[in-house]
Chains A and B, each alone.
Chain A
Amino acid sequence: MVAGPFRRAALGAVVASVLLPASAGADELGDLKQALETAKQQMKEMEAVHRRQIEALEGRVRAVERRSNAAANAATTQPPAQASKDQHGSYSIGGLDLDLGVTADLAAGGSSVPNSILSQLQAADHDPNKNGFRLKSLEWIASGTVDPYFDAQATLALQIDAEGETKLELEEAFATTRGLPYGLQAKAGMYFTEFGRANTQHSHEWAFVDQSFVATRLLGPDGLRSPGARLSWLTPLPFFSEITVGVQNSDGETVFGFLSEENEELLIPAGGGEEEEEEEGGDKRQIRNLGDLLYSARWLNGFDLSDTVSMNIGVSGAIGPNDTDANADTFLLGSDIYIKWQPVSNERGFPFVSLQAEGILREFEFRGEDGDEDLEDYGFYTQALWGFKPGWVAGLRFGYADANDQDLFNGPFRDERMRLSPNITWYPSENSLIRLQYNRDWFDFDEDAGGDEDTADTIWVQFVWSLGAHAAHGF
């Protein structure tokens, strides 16, 4: 449709070139040349006018098409989810700004140790934790833009726990601002605390079948998450540098190490004799004032080291109360680094190599009848992933954790532990994966409790599929 003007221009040039040799004189030639230039100029101007007209008409045609398409869609009984979708994701349902996704995460495996020990080695809420099959999670995600001011996301997870019971939990439900000035962004709701790298990831995003036990021990079996609000600031430094400060409730199931009831079961198990005292007293510590909330901060920096190597480096901290005493606090300190290499010319994101390491220290101020102890737990994991051909990733992860005062409190959350996990993953597409992983565990808690196991060998197979939308990939 834009070819018309060209054809005319070409025709003009041809006609002129035929006419030119026929007319002889030099003056005449000059005149003709000038006339030709003028004609060309006029033609161009006309063409510009035509182009503008064509563009205006095209715009109107598109508008009409859109209207008639919308009318046609409204008229037919087509399922609305077919309106628009893509590999990664946007289902626009009836023109609504709502992305929906369902992700199933299934694992199966067998171990050299019985379920009683295996469930303590694999203590995270979404870990595979018994011989045989387990539906680790079935996650329902709804997300979208609320209005010009907010984006929102809600995640529900169903799972079948080790006892075979179906369990429903609210993982996250939060809104973030879209339009704050000066690089600020606020978030409010129930969300994973932005502490380190692993904590904010949902189970199906892990590059391994299970959560690193270091994160499980130090940030809790279900991650550190709670209702609250946070403000984050993208600083004007010439590189990516983001500071996040947040405040969240310090009580509930998912604030392990703070006012969580799981502390007594896992971190300071009975034996110290102190909590009987507390139970007689009957009143647990509650949030009474601003000082009893959980405060967290993170500083994350990102650099491109070259065209092919990028890196993130972060430090995180958190402080909140624990319920051994009215003034007892728990501190968390963490640092993390992530480096990724990917050639510029890559095929579907392959090949790549990524290295990730994270270290976490927790200090738990234990205030008991028999005296005060500062319980220190610490650990680190490091993992490498190698996407060696399109769709194929080999991984290796090593984790180590230990704690002080093990004579006072011991068990699977405090003994000296190590785990080595090689795995291999095949992604048939962006929306499914099949993974094979071997775990070698070294642990003390069974022998400490009078048993005779101190190592475990476990093979896991994992299958993840996802329907509908899934969020665009962050770095």
Chain B
Amino acid sequence: MRRFLLALCLAVLGGWPGIAAARVDIVATTTDLAAIARAVGGGDVVAVSLTSGAADPHFAAAKPSMIRRVFDADLLLSVGAELEVGWLPAVLQAARNPRVLPGRSGHLDLSTAVVLRDARTGPVSRAMGHVHAAGNPHYWLDPRNGRLIAAAIAARLERLDPNNAAGYRSRLAAFTADLDQRIPVWRDKLAPLAGRPVIAYHESLVYLASAFGFEIVDEVEPLPGVAPTAAHLSGLVATIRDRGVRLLIMEPYYERRSAAFLEDKTGVRPVIIPQSVGALPDVKTYPGLFDAIVAAFAEAGNLR
């Protein structure tokens, strides 16, 4: 009993902000941001993700454990552009950690560090499906944006933890140099895709298309976030035949029936794109994510 009480006391002290906080406690909404924060923060930070890389970040549930993590955080990294709008506000409200509220130095919305595609300037209606008015939030899938994300995180860490600024700067330089070296290699490997028409499942792979120069001509979803209908699928069969589409790219968490139907009708090959760090068990770093994406394309065979 006494041992239990002691353990409880230690746990309480350990959880109390300030006492055990030598390293910057980073909580990211996605595994990609957590991985980049780890690369830039090294041993000066502890970075965890609220969601799993195998999950669709639109539809995370605001679990009690998330609230507990955000309560302790020094820095919250979010993808922003309304990606987490379904659950993050509830977590932030319950977590009552003023340091990480929007507008404070402990809250970094990375959508402000990149240029978003498809920002809507005209009227937006729910009749258009699940549209993000601020722009498409899947920007981490362009490796060039990885450099901007890393630079923004490093800058924020320098501000929050000036004593370790030199470390953040040098790790940022190393991370950037590594990406710079790999990007041309990935581009080479995906060169056969350049200019090719491709079908995507959801409007989430536009940044990948822009990074590697292929064209997404239509989506399996008739409207973003709306389940495919028979009529839309038969329309897609025609599009695939007319445009000579060879590949259908999709995240692992979507249903496969529609893809199987389209493959059966047209021979289009489904390519399951690991969309985030952790989407496959061995994808543990941000550069590793693009290695895995390139490998997924390679598995699909001849890209032309």
Contact = CB atoms under 8 A, between A and B. Distances in A.
A237 B15 contact: yes
B42 interface: no
B43 interface: no
A346 B147 contact: no
A449 interface: no
Contacts of B133: 83-86
B283 interface: no
A343 to B, nearest CB: 9
Interface string A42-56: 001001100100010
Interface in B29-59: 52, 54-56, 58-59
A253 B71 CA distance: 37
A178 interface: yes
B65 A236 contact: no
Given A344-B52, A349-B59, A151 B98 contact: no
Contact of B132 (A86, A177, A234): A86
B68 A473 contact: no
11 contacts: A51-B176, A82-B123, A181-B98, A240-B67, A240-B68, A302-B65, A304-B65, A312-B64, A348-B59, A474-B94, A475-B62
Contact of B144 (A2, A239, A473): A2
Nearest to B94: A474
Nearest to B82: A86
Contact of B82 (A90, A240, A391): A90
A301 B124 CA distance: 40
A236 B61 contact: no
Interface stretch (B83-91, B239-247, B261-269, B288-296): B83-91
A431 B126 contact: yes
Given A2-B147, A238-B11, A345 B96 contact: no
B253 A88 contact: no
Given A342-B61, A349-B59, A51 B147 contact: yes
Interface string B198-229: 00000000000000000000000000011100
A342 B61 CA distance: 9
A78 interface: yes
A61 B41 CA distance: 29
A184 B122 CA distance: 42
Contacts of A302: 63-65, 67-68
A58 interface: yes
A89 B85 CA distance: 7
B96 A185 contact: yes
A282 to B, nearest CB: 46
Nearest to A5: B180
A6 B95 contact: no
B258 to A, nearest CB: 11
Interface residues of A, number: 68
Contacts, number: 164
A58 B64 contact: no
Contacts of B148: 55
A87 B180 contact: no
Interface string B120-139: 01111010001111100000
Most buried by B among A79, A235, A238, A340: A238
B293 to A, nearest CB: 17
Contact of B71 (A234, A340, A345): A234
B61 A84 contact: no
Nearest to A350: B59
A184 B126 CA distance: 37
B195 interface: no
A304 B67 CA distance: 12
A301 B63 CA distance: 11
Nearest to A151: B93
Given A6-B180, A310-B63, A475-B61, A345 B252 contact: yes
A6 B184 contact: yes
B98 A179 contact: yes
Contact of A474 (B59, B62, B65): B62
B12 A237 contact: yes
A238 B65 CA distance: 9
A178 B96 CA distance: 6
Given A240-B67, A302-B64, A302-B65, A87 B96 contact: no
A237 B12 CA distance: 5
Given A84-B134, A87-B131, 6 more contacts: A51-B151, A180-B98, A310-B61, A310-B64, A346-B59, A347-B56
B101 interface: yes
A413 B46 CA distance: 55
A84 B93 CA distance: 21
B177 interface: yes
Contacts of B63: 302, 304, 310, 475
A182 to B, nearest CB: 9
A17 to B, nearest CB: 14
Nearest to A467: B126
A87 B225 contact: yes
A239 B52 contact: no
B65 A310 contact: yes
Contact of B227 (A58, A239, A390, A431): A390
Contacts of B227: 390-391
Given A2-B144, A62-B115, A90-B85, A307 B56 contact: no
B235 interface: no
Contacts of A429: 126, 225-226
Given A302-B63, A307-B52, A344-B54, A236 B15 contact: yes
A270 interface: no
Nearest to A352: B61
A206 interface: no
Nearest to B133: A84
A314 to B, nearest CB: 11
